[in-house]
Amino acid sequence: MFESAVAEVTATTTRLLAGLAPRRQPPKTVPPLRRPEVRARMAAR
């Protein structure tokens, strides 16, 4: 049962993502809250 649910979610997600426009720019490699300049601003508060 679980495996079939995972397969169904995977298929649906793949189908939905295929219909989206491609990204305009690649994602950042560092999450926003882990970027040094953001951490410095947060520490300064």
The pLDDT assigned to 19 comes to 94
Q: What are the pLDDT digits (tens) for 16-30?
A: 999 999 888 887 788
The pLDDT assigned to 27 comes to 76
Cα–Cα distance measured from residue 39 to residue 23, given in angstroms and rounded to the nearest whole number: 27
The pLDDT assigned to 5 comes to 97
Cβ atoms of residues 38 and 32 within 8 Å: yes
> Helix or strand or coil: residue 22?
coil
Cα–Cα distance measured from residue 11 to residue 15, given in angstroms and rounded to the nearest whole number: 6
Cα–Cα distance measured from residue 32 to residue 38, given in angstroms and rounded to the nearest whole number: 7
The pLDDT assigned to 24 comes to 86
Closest alpha carbon to 44 in 36, 24, 10, 11: 36
The pLDDT assigned to 30 comes to 84
> What's the rounded mean pLDDT across residues 6-22?
95
Whole-number average pLDDT of the chain:
91
